[in-house]
Amino acid sequence: MSGIERVSATTRPDRPARRSGTCGARAVAIVKLFRNLLRLDDADRRPDVQRGDIANWSASAMSKLTADTETFYLKPGMTLSTGVNYEIDDAFTVLWRRFVGQPWTKENLVEDATTAAEAAELEREGRRLTPLMKPGDVLQYGLLPQELDPNNSGMSLGRFRPLITIFALLEQPGPSDLILPLEVSDRLWLPDRGSLLTGGTFHDARLLTRRPAHLVMKVGRDAPVQGPFGSIDIASPVVTVSGFIGTAHGLTAQPLIPGTRYHVVVRASDAQGSWQNLHYEITTKRRKVEVQFDRLVVHDDSDSIGIEDTGEARFWFKVHNGPEVKEFHLGEIEIDDSNDPSNSKKIFDLNFKHTIGPEALNGEGKGVGVSTEGREYDRFEVLFTLFYSTDDAHYWHPGRPDLKTKYINFPTGLQEEVPFQSEGMTAGPTDGELHYAVVWHWSVTYE
């Protein structure tokens, strides 16, 4: 089970503190996949495109962007600036800046350079001082490839790699009712599902504020710590989500680990710098996975010695759940790679099924995958003596022969559940010529 187990709201009491920064269709699918596998051979192998794969520009993996202080607290009328540090791994990358609600502008990274060498260095790495910020200001910095302009219509903040947001807030107490009570949001906005929804890999919060505000949600395993002026913060969040200015807010934190307890801190702040914290705990739903091996298709029986030109083989099919392995065995059978329609030794129904869970992963990532191995036996007699030879095969990950397990790439977020997904994998020879394919499917639900 999952749900909200404790909810508390904290505002800013007026007390001194040290200032610091806070950081039918199923059958059709099988038939289509099955037909494709009948046409597979070694030349057809190509890298897998897994669910959720995204082609990002090269700077996304290596470029860094950090602020000395992401949230600071000021008295009314005060202004302050902070430092922004950048490391850019791609020469065709631009640093952009904006006050939220205003257009984006490019940062001139080399304006203070006095030599060409210094300019080249500043294009790769450096430090910028932010404009002066007053209470209520929200400042953002982000890196983009040079061909993109964030001021264009339809440009998503998700294109930035990375993006940081800096807040200037008030020290002194302000109105303590910025975030409407959850029961009000439940009644006015989402009476069917409620304001807070937790799945196996996500937490979705739909909140209302009395006036336009900017919301930030942090999710982490550890309890929040006390910050300056009565604020609270999660020091090491696993997910941080920043929303848009408005009165109706939707924040989705993902990916989270199934069956795991988390703390959630939401902070709302308005244009005057007033702010309010909301803290509660959630437990994500447990994961249930079903895997079934459906068909085996022989492409090459690796037998050119036998009189009938058929092979004898055994096959193993495994489901991997972290260190745990469930194995199925197809005993010695005759196989034949002939495409003759009357051939009954080319395609075999398996119907090997394994269910995992529902289980709680308790904060530990645990991959689920499948693998297969086959062994073909040749028997031949010389001078009344019976000899055996064997040919082995196993699943080869495209482009990575050292990987012998094909892992499921589970989706995350509101569409995390998959009722049925057909898959296929081919097994090539480690020696000899044995080559076959396996049709299998999987599903995942959370409860």
Q: Cis ω on the peptide bond leading into residue 323 (within 30° of 0)?
A: no
Mean predicted confidence (pLDDT) in 394-411: 77
Q: Can you spell out the DSSP letters for 8-28? A: EEE---S----------HHHH
CA–CA separation, 12 and 117 (whole Å): 49
In order of 224, 351, 380, 440, the CA distances from 420 in angstroms are 39, 15, 45, 10
pLDDT of 332 over the 60 cut: yes
SS3 content of the chain, % helix, strand, coil (to 5): 10, 50, 40
Phi, psi angle pair for 19, to nearest 5°? -75, 130
Q: Can you spell out the DSSP letters for 236-279? A: S-SEEEE--SEEEEEEEE----TT-EEEEEEEEEETTS-EEEEE
Please identify which residue in the block is written with the tokens 């037909």. 35
pLDDT of 31 over the 80 cut: no
Predicted pLDDT of residue 190: 76
Mean predicted confidence (pLDDT) in 340-357: 87
Token pair listed for 10: 């904290």
DSSP state of 159: G
pLDDT, tens only, 55-74: 233 334 478 999 999 999 99
pLDDT, tens only, 147-169: 999 999 888 888 888 899 999 99
CB atoms within 10 A of CB 51: 11
Strand segments, DSSP code E, in 271-346 are 275-283, 287-300, 311-321, 324-335
Residue partners of 39: CB distance under 8 A and separation at least 6: none
Predicted pLDDT of residue 378: 63
Predicted pLDDT of residue 397: 65
pLDDT, tens only, 168-178: 999 976 777 89
Instruction: Kindly report which listed range (59-73, 249-263, 278-292) carries the lowest average pLDDT score.
Output: 59-73
pLDDT of 47 over the 70 cut: no
Mean predicted confidence (pLDDT) in 196-214: 95
Predicted pLDDT of residue 383: 45
* 33: confidence class by pLDDT, cuts 50, 70, 90: very low
Mean predicted confidence (pLDDT) in 181-198: 86
CA–CA separation, 298 and 387 (whole Å): 24
Rg (CA), the chain: 29
Predicted pLDDT of residue 13: 34
